[in-house]
Structure 1
Amino acid sequence: MVEAWYMDESQEDQRAPHRLQPNRAVSLEQLRRLGVAYRRLDADNYETDPRLKEIREAENYSWMDIVTIHKDKLPNYEEKIKTFYEEHLHLDDEIRYILDGSGYFDVRDKDDKWIRISMEKGDMITLPAGIYHRFTLDENNYVKAMRLFVGEPVWTAYNRPADDFPARKQYMKFLAEEAQ
């Protein structure tokens, strides 16, 4: 089951949990108010899982692939890990389904504070277009994830600052409406 918390400001190893002391947990409802959607699925049977099929059809996730992030599996591993951890946004939703291993998605809250979302096997997350975020492995240094897209995949990340993009403006409007 997913767990999320506010992060400390340490610049040490990005793969460490970085929990505030005392811990400030973040609920699924708090994530939902940021536009982050979470589902728990059966990763052992993802190829035949009727629930995954339903989600893909309902959300129009017509394209998918599987990526393994590990030093022995991913070309240019060190460079990619640094790139994933740079704060950025996308113009489309980012959908990831963890099939094996674990890692962290960090998202900014409405006050620009980092929230760390611990993802493990069976967790599916949807980050809305326009949300500032980043990804890193945890201390296990391995994750296998399904990437899902509506239509052809768009891999472009826009590093912060990227506030002038329509997707960012739409996201900020969403946050303002959620606050009312």
Structure 2
Amino acid sequence: MKNLVHPIATITTTSGLTGDVRLRPLSRYFDDYIEGKQLMLGFSPDTSEDVRLEIVTGMGKKRRFKFEGVDTVSDAEKIVGQTIFIEASREDQINMIGKDLLGYEVFAESGDLVGILKDVMWLPHSDVYVITNGGKEFLIPVIPEVVKGINHEQGVIVISPMEGLLD
């Protein structure tokens, strides 16, 4: 199976004189992937090229990121506006919250249609699927006890709803 590509950050501005840049995270899993993983940089996944993170300085929102081969302000200005992508296996946690899931049909393990996935909300404790069916809206926590599987080829999510979750 082919790995899925996800955007995890956008380069927003240069910072300093040595080619450092600032990033805007696009995924709650940004910190899990930005360091120590293979990164790709470009305007789209198809046109992106491999890039290596050299060093991260600062803390929190003041972090600065330095990529190999980007050594001057001029070099950094050339990559502002580009997106950082990662490749993740189908089983990876980031695939459970990607916007590419929107429109998937959601079924209970019993085979009953629950509805269509309309949104993914990133909440502090856990992510939540917003599923609609007619005039009803269900909020389903994205946790292993509830989300049992995702079939990307068929556009289907299978859940095991806890008692009262679909009332």
TM normalised by structure 1 equals 0.21
TM normalised by structure 2 equals 0.22
Name the one with the larger strand percent.
2
Name the one with the larger helix percent.
1
Larger radius of gyration: 2
